[in-house]
Structure 1
Amino acid sequence: MRRLVASPGTLDVRGSDFARLAHKITDAGLLDRRPVYYATRLSIAAVAYLGGWALFAWLGDSWLQLLVAVGMAVVFAQLGFVAHDLGHRQVFRTRRPGDIAGLVIGNFGIGLGWGWWTSKHNRHHANPNHEDHDPDVSPAVIVWSEDQAARSQGIPRFLAKHQAFWFFPLLTLEAWHLHIASFKALFKPSAKRRGQELTLLVTHFVLYFGLVFTVLPFGKALLFVVVHQGLFGIYLGCTFAPNHKGMPVLTKEDKLDFLRKQVLTSRNVRGGWFTDVALGQLNYQIEHHLFPNMPAPNLRKAQPIVQEYCAEIGVSYLQTGLVESYGQALRHLHQVGAPLR
């Protein structure tokens, strides 16, 4: 992976690059709130969520419930995107309504600890793709650099040899990983709102498993849970993987200003309205990382401004198709495991 070390003597000058871009974005009104958009989006998500469970109850003991499982995996992921926007303060002007909505959607609605995930995600935004500071590239089952591969042991070391082939199968477990991590985080001394979050999480799973195993016989209920949670994890993983995986992984040797740190480690995915909806508009990852509190529907409008500005100041701006973004990510994972093969 190419190095991204900036000359210390240039950092003071480059530090003003983001300020000039921020003026352009602000003047275009792209940081203004979009209340009608989010009211509509939240209403559609709520109707889909409640309607999906109503359909589940109405169908009863039927193999058609597997189609409901597929649909609810999509609905859960879309609610996750809304919770993401709430975490970045894109929706409300003040913190309290955003926190309440995030807890209801995240903990109660889809069983993900909103407080834990928001804290983790903010650390990612502060240092994207940084080996030492970004929790999203911390070595666990998957390793993200050759240094991490060399230090790996046990199952991660075994998987790292051919981890590109394991990547999508492992995503079937991603939702369970997030559920478990949400509970574990609440038992740490640093946990905030422990009582509220734990109550909402427990309530979610009591109602979820209670409904599924009451309506369906044990075998079908178990299959419903496997399909629903597996596809939920795959959908989330397939949304976030194109954003940074396969982009340069930074270390303490890399000294970059804010703009370059965000742009050079992020990748945009081209597409029309369907891609925007399917990926929660996170396909404009560069713009999102530069302006995380920008309302999601404004990211498309900001994209040409940011791309043109990066060209002016000589900063590489990467944008690919969706399939190619996965190809770049998987090739990187395969390259990382090469020394172990």
Structure 2
Amino acid sequence: MDEWSRERIAARILAGDTLIIYHGHLLSIPQKWLEAHPGGELALLHFVGRDASAEIEANHLDHTLNLIPKYSIGRVQLTDGIWEPFLPPIATGWVRRIGPAGNRVWFKEATEALSNQDSHFCPSSSVLLVPNDPRAIQPSGPTLASLIPPPSTLSLKQQARHEQAWRELHKRVTAAGLYNTRYITGYGPELVRYTLLALLSIYFYSRSWFITSAVFLGLFWHQLVFSAHDLGHMGVTHNWTADRIIATIIADFIGGLSIGWWVQNHNVHHLVTNHPSHDPDIEHIPFFAITPAFLDSLWSSYYKRTMAFDWFSRIALSVQHKLFYIIMAFARFNLYVNSYTFLYQKSFDTKRARGGNWAWRLEIIGLLFFWTWFGRVLYGCGSWQMALAYLLVSHAVTSPLHIQIVLSHYSMPTGDLGPVESFPHRQMRTTTDVICDPSIEFIHGGLHLQVTHHLFPRLPRHNLRRASVLVKEFAEEQGLTYAEFGFVDGNREVLNTLKNVADQIKIMGKVAKDEAKEALDKKMAAKDAKNGFANGNGAYHPNSNGVLKKLT
């Protein structure tokens, strides 16, 4: 089998090939599969020139892994059995687009900038993206220098040992049968709970107790989405088609949300967790910013837009810790926007990229069905005031779910330690558990155990607690931190994080105000001095601040 040198691989990447390393093999991903990848093309682009072995194993079923070798075009040259990673082009703002001649060419969608935040949350080695300067001449394509990552404080050998230890842990988890779905003991009680909540909502609606009905509908949505989450990770039937159909029924037909959008969004979140320029789950400008890095108006490689720190953002973010729960009460409406934007954009994709077209069509049918039945529910409230109240209450009741998810990431580091960082190291560094008594785990859907979930995304959530015991042993053996805190403490940590950024904005405003005042004073003093000399009204001298003062 052909052996590829680093120089040769770099040249092919610069020429536009999508090359990923998997267990020493060089995988060449064709454009058609890049577009059709069920997890979205960004999930692949973030690993160009990198060893994605752990990420691939964590997110794919065994029969899918068996198909991967067919994309191998040879072996790669390793150093002590380890691949020294390149920095993917997308990390420095480079993407491939259709050019004027109809062929794919490099396009610089954003400019890279080393972080100026040398801290635990955003180390100076982080590569952030900012909008292109429209006055600057854009290069024609990435260079070899752009593929070289910034210096890292991490040891490549140590990270390789972490990854090998994770692989052994993965074998233990599999051998323990923790990938087996608990249909009766796991989903059985949940099905009863779903049915009860739905029936209670229908019953109170029939009695014209509309607000009570709205509360139970919200609780029904809140609980049901946990199963949609499992299905999106292929963690129920372990068959992509079956899980996607069931997930579409739950998310689209019953919940009015796009499961296709959620899967692609969530996959990127799992792969580049807490990266300000790449993780959509922390990109909530203008309402939330969990790191001062967002105050630089970063570019989002997921949303393909500038997250502008404008006048509205300045006002909203300065009080974000005070508005946190109010905004989270309306978080579901943001999911609608993201869902429908995604489906609209997908309407222009190829049929294969939409899952053979049927998955996209099924989602559209599902959303039409949802707004038909839910619209009828709102109409039946009798007045627009009651319909509005029903709408807001049913959606606000789901807010604890959104709060729970952000607790596991908002207070954790947002810095990127570069492509040297191993899969387990990054997941444990950027994720935390919410401690919960087993008797009330159902409220959190089992997803309060986010550390274990991020290490094993396809693991059925009913088995996360058993797996977390093994993960804690792994963390202790590898010298890694297994972060966890209670629900109340978690909320306090998130609010503190939001307040710290808000305080930064206030300091920025005060400094800007002082600088503007000083500049105005100098300007006025200079003007007075000029007028004074011109009129012969005396002499002036500068004070300690450089401002001219009249001598009397």
Q: Is the 8 A contact 1:5 1:256 kept in 2?
A: no
SS in structure 2 at match of 1:320: strand
Runs ≥4 in structure 1, deviation > 6 angstroms?
Answer: none
Quote the residue 2:328 is aligned against.
171
SS in structure 2 at match of 1:244: coil
Quote the residue 2:445 is aligned against.
280
Deviation at 1:251, TM superposition (A): 2.9
Residues 325, 148 of structure 1: alpha-carbon distance in 2 compared, 3 angstrom cutoff:
same
Among residues 5, 15, 20, which one is paired with 2:168 in the alignment?
20
Quote the residue 2:218 is aligned against.
73
Deviation at 1:159, TM superposition (A): 1.5
Q: Is the 8 A contact 2:408 2:433 kept in 1?
A: yes
SS in structure 1 at match of 2:430: coil
Q: Partner letter of residue 331 of structure 2? A: E
Residues 34, 142 of structure 1: alpha-carbon distance in 2 compared, 3 angstrom cutoff:
same
Cα separation, 2, equivalents of 1:134 and 1:211: 36
- Say which is worse superposed, 239-248 or 10-19, in terms of deviation: 10-19
Report the identity percentage. Answer: 24
Among residues 288, 291, 300, which one is paired with 1:145 in the alignment?
291
Quote the residue 1:44 is aligned against.
192
Q: Partner letter of residue 292 of structure 1? A: P
Cα separation, 2, equivalents of 1:231 and 1:142: 21
Q: Partner letter of residue 54 of structure 1? A: I
Quote the residue 2:382 is aligned against.
216
Q: Partner letter of residue 446 of structure 2? A: Q
After superposition, give the CA deviation of every residue in 1:133-177 in whole Å (9 maximum; x if it has no partner).
211112422112111024322322221222111111111221111
- Say which is worse superposed, 275-284 or 29-38, in terms of deviation: 29-38
Q: Which has the larger radius of gyration?
A: 2
Query: Are 1:120 and 2:265 an aligned pair?
Result: yes
Q: In structure 1, list runs of 5 or more residues that go unmatched.
A: none
Among residues 204, 207, 223, which one is paired with 1:59 in the alignment?
207
When normalised by structure 1's length, the TM-score is 0.92
Query: Are 1:134 and 2:299 an aligned pair?
Result: no
Q: Partner letter of residue 105 of structure 1? A: I
Residues 102, 159 of structure 1: alpha-carbon distance in 2 compared, 3 angstrom cutoff:
same
Quote the residue 2:180 is aligned against.
32
Query: Are 1:245 and 2:410 an aligned pair?
Result: yes
Residues 305, 22 of structure 1: alpha-carbon distance in 2 compared, 3 angstrom cutoff:
same
Quote the residue 2:234 is aligned against.
89
Q: Is the 8 A contact 2:201 2:215 kept in 1?
A: no
Q: Which structure shows the bigger proportion of residues in strand conformation?
A: 2
Q: Partner letter of residue 250 of structure 2? A: I
Q: Is the 8 A contact 2:228 2:247 kept in 1?
A: yes
Query: Are 1:202 and 2:368 an aligned pair?
Result: yes
- Say which is worse superposed, 92-101 or 4-13, in terms of deviation: 4-13
Quote the residue 1:103 is aligned against.
248
Q: Is the 8 A contact 2:201 2:214 kept in 1?
A: no
Cα separation, 2, equivalents of 1:218 and 1:237: 27
Among residues 152, 162, 181, which one is paired with 2:338 in the alignment?
181
Residues 278, 39 of structure 1: alpha-carbon distance in 2 compared, 3 angstrom cutoff:
closer
After superposition, give the CA deviation of every residue in 1:240-299 in whole Å (9 maximum; x if it has no partner).
121111000133647410001111111111121344111111111100000111111111
Residues 112, 274 of structure 1: alpha-carbon distance in 2 compared, 3 angstrom cutoff:
farther
Query: Larger RCO: Structure 1 or Structure 2 (Cα < 8 Å, ≥ 6 residues apart)?
Result: 1
Deviation at 1:24, TM superposition (A): 2.3
Q: In structure 2, list runs of 5 or more residues that go unmatched.
A: 1-118, 124-151, 298-308, 507-552
Query: Are 1:326 and 2:471 an aligned pair?
Result: no
Deviation at 1:17, TM superposition (A): 2.2
Q: Partner letter of residue 224 of structure 2? A: L
SS in structure 2 at match of 1:269: strand
Cα separation, 1, equivalents of 2:256 and 2:317: 30
Q: Which structure shows the bigger proportion of residues in helix conformation?
A: 1
Cα separation, 2, equivalents of 1:275 and 1:245: 23
When normalised by structure 2's length, the TM-score is 0.58
Residues 253, 162 of structure 1: alpha-carbon distance in 2 compared, 3 angstrom cutoff:
farther
Deviation at 1:123, TM superposition (A): 0.9
